[in-house]
Copies of this chain bind each other. A is one copy, B any other.
């Protein structure tokens, strides 16, 4: 009889739902000034980054998350040259951005230098050397403070930060105030993308619909989309927003042509067809958005459960 697996990682999706994977290595465990950090390795997911007990991404499926987060926005823009990334410590969001050869400058602001150092060392398949690209300017401070203090504008702004946990540092970047600030830092025609938490049938009202409604009060166009990222255990949501954005203005073939012309990496999840899969979201998500009225502000935050 083969031995039963005995080491397990429990991802606490909610207090009543866990995704449990066979653990092979505990590569790093530590506390930074801001959060609890783990680099774990499991049979189904390979290496993953876990912050405050929540998986941020894993080797097995980070390509779904990071391509979905970055590629639709970059492809939609006519000629994106300057990109701002808030968070993204694994370096995989950066990797996706840099894969577009037209990008000339990436300003990445991740609060937690220690997380970035840990990812550099333990997650080489995530960043694939992106941190050494000369187009990168990397800062370690609060992304909101950076954007307040620097009036630079960008073609594309990516908010790749943890869910708005009550205990964590991220929740202030899910507010109306922050989205208003971001809007002022976009070049004309520029786009903003945000990862906005789970959006499956049971949990889309926890974070996704209030963030969607809040963004819609701060920016003229907001386009939600969803993808299944297995290590999160749930369907995941994203919102792309700007002065005007129509996710269906380019045909699948046009998207593929832009990728062929601009992107130097072979993508694994995203292309023209997958784009239409992303943005045609289930009816229950649209129903939830239509009935949502909460506006998230500093004074009335919303926390992930």
Residues of chain A at the chain B interface (Cβ within 8 Å): 1, 3-12, 14-26, 29, 36, 40, 42-44, 50, 52-53, 60-61, 63-64, 166-167, 200-202, 226-228, 230, 233-235, 252, 267-271, 273-284, 286-287
| Given A17-B44, A277-B279; 4 other pairs, CB 8 A cutoff | A5-B15, A7-B40, A26-B26, A230-B235
Q: Are B22 and A60 in contact (CB under 8 A)?
A: no
List of B residues within 8 angstroms of A273 by Cβ: 280-281, 283, 286
B22 touches A25 (CB 8 A): no
Evaluate whether A20 and B25 lie within 8 angstroms (CB atoms) in the complex, with A44-B202, A280-B273 already known.
Answer: no
Residues of chain B within 8 A of A24, CB atoms compared: 26, 29
Determine if A201 and B40 form an interchain contact, defined as CB atoms under 8 angstroms apart. Answer: no
CB distance B276 to A282 under 8 Å? no
Query: A282: which of B64, B167, B201 is its contact (CB, 8 Å)?
Result: B64
Residues of B near A8 (CB, < 8 A) are 7-10, 18
What is the total number of copies of this protein in its complex? 4
Query: Secondary structure of the A side of the interface?
Result: mixed
Query: How near does chain B come to A230, taking the closest CB pair, in angstroms?
Result: 5
Kindly list chain B residues whose C-beta atoms are within 8 Å of the C-beta of A21.
16-18
User: For the complex, what is the distance from the CA of A43 to the CA of B64, rounded to whole Å?
Assistant: 29
Q: Which residues of B contact A166 (CB under 8 A)?
A: 1
Q: List 5 A-B contacts (CB under 8 A).
A: A23-B23, A24-B26, A61-B201, A226-B277, A274-B281
Contact partners of A43 in chain B: CB under 8 A: 16-17
Known A-B contacts A5-B16, A29-B24; the reply to A274 vs B280 at CB < 8 A is yes
A257 to B21, CA, bound (A): 44
Cβ distance A46 to chain B, nearest Cβ, rounded Å: 10
